[in-house]
Amino acid sequence: MRPSFTLGIEEEYQTIDPVTRDLRSHVATEMLENGKLRLEERVKAEMHQSVIEVGTRVCHNIQDAREDLYDLRRNMIRLAEENGLVLVAGATHPFADWREQEIYPDPRYDKVVEDLQLVARANLIFGLHVHVGIEDREAAIRIMNSLRYFLPHILALSTNSPFWLGMDTGYKSYRAKVFENFPRTNLPDSFASYSEFENYVNLLIKTNSIDNAKKLWWDVRPHPFFNTVEVRICDIPMRAEESVAIAALIQATAMKLHCLHANNVDFRQYSRALLMENKFRAVRYGLDGKLIDFGKETEVPERELIEEYLHFIDDVVDELGSRNEINYIRTMLENGSGADRQLKVWRETNDLRAVVDYMASETRAGL
């Protein structure tokens, strides 16, 4: 059965005090209740009260996804302003201190904090998650296995978290370093079949390691409740247009990998140990680094690799109707990632509040 390749996009936003530019735990109940009245299940709380998450409906193409995501951003910006706050899309806050942030009152989050303690409280990060509809579970595992190769490239495009606790970390995605303190994160191993994956999950549940497969916080996973493959590696980009382009890239990659398999060709599998080398390079250097071409056994500048990547998926892009969105990836290569642009403002102003202001303006851009 051919997958539907439907799309769902989730974004996590910062709620900022307009005077101090620091994170502010919103009046959680009030802002969320208003959000739910307007947007229903498309808005929800996250573990820290200064994080608010939105998710599109199930979208049949990238144009529907764009329309839904833009609508969500507009509504959340308006809602934040009504509550005396500013909405910002950035994967870490430049100077906020996680120790001063309140946890959202919910039994699910209480359990995570009880299990993971300081690691959970320090997890003040903001991501972009993209779901692609792949209904057959064996196909989902197969596509997940091959998608792992491309995740460092996708992460490099999204990098948007160079600062932590008021410091330039030297990393383009410090969010990734914070999150890997959680168990069951980073790139997963490959699985020979869906039943092998199920056996793994069932063993963890049986031994009280997890209560359900949502506590596999990998960079990509078969979603336990939806018939999707969920890519979770990305920082939230500043601009909605960037999120849409990355979602289109992920969707096209899934379709390309499916087409290869349908023609009795498969993408070569590499070990997790090798793929993690590329992930580190993407986390550290973003678009300015070199990643390893494992076939050629050589380093290649990331921008060149992304051009190769775009060529690889080119033959499925028109069928998906996402040519314009995929072309925007080249604009992202020219403009630099969110991390590059944050760092540029920091070097020009030496003021992290100016960085927050810039992030806020970019969050509204193009809406």
**Span 183-242, pLDDT tens digits:** 899 999 999 999 999 999 999 999 999 999 999 999 999 999 999 999 999 999 999 999
How much is the pTM?
0.95
Single out the residue of 175, 98, 167 nearest to residue 337, CA to CA: 175
Which amino acid, one-letter code, is at 209?
Answer: S
- Structure confidence at residue 106 as a pLDDT band (50, 70, 90): confident
- The structure tokens listed for 21 are 């530019």
Q: What is the per-residue DSSP string for 61-99? A: SHHHHHHHHHHHHHHHHHHHHHTT-EEE--SS-SS--GG
How many percent of the chain have pLDDT more than 90? 79
**Angle between helices 352-364 and 62-82 in degrees, nearest 10:** 130
What pLDDT does 29 receive?
A: 57
Second-level CATH architecture of 7-364: 2-Layer Sandwich (3.30)
User: What counts of helices (H) and strands (E) characterise the chain?
Assistant: 14, 11
Structural Rg of the chain based on CA atoms = 19
For the stretch 109-142, pLDDT in tens is 777 767 778 787 787 899 999 999 999 999 999 9
Q: Which residues does 128 contact at the CB level (< 8 Å), separation at least 6? A: 9, 10, 11, 12, 158, 234, 235, 236, 237, 243, 246
DSSP 8-state code for residue 287:
G
Per the structure block, which two tokens stand in for 357? 């202001």
pLDDT tens-digit series, residues 136-180? 999 999 999 999 999 999 999 999 999 999 999 999 999 999 999
Interval 226-274: pLDDT, tens: 999 999 999 999 999 999 999 999 999 999 999 999 999 988 899 999 9
The CA angle 345-351-353, to the nearest 5 degrees, is: 95
Q: How confident is the model at residue 50 (pLDDT cuts 50, 70, 90)?
A: confident
pLDDT of residue 107: 73
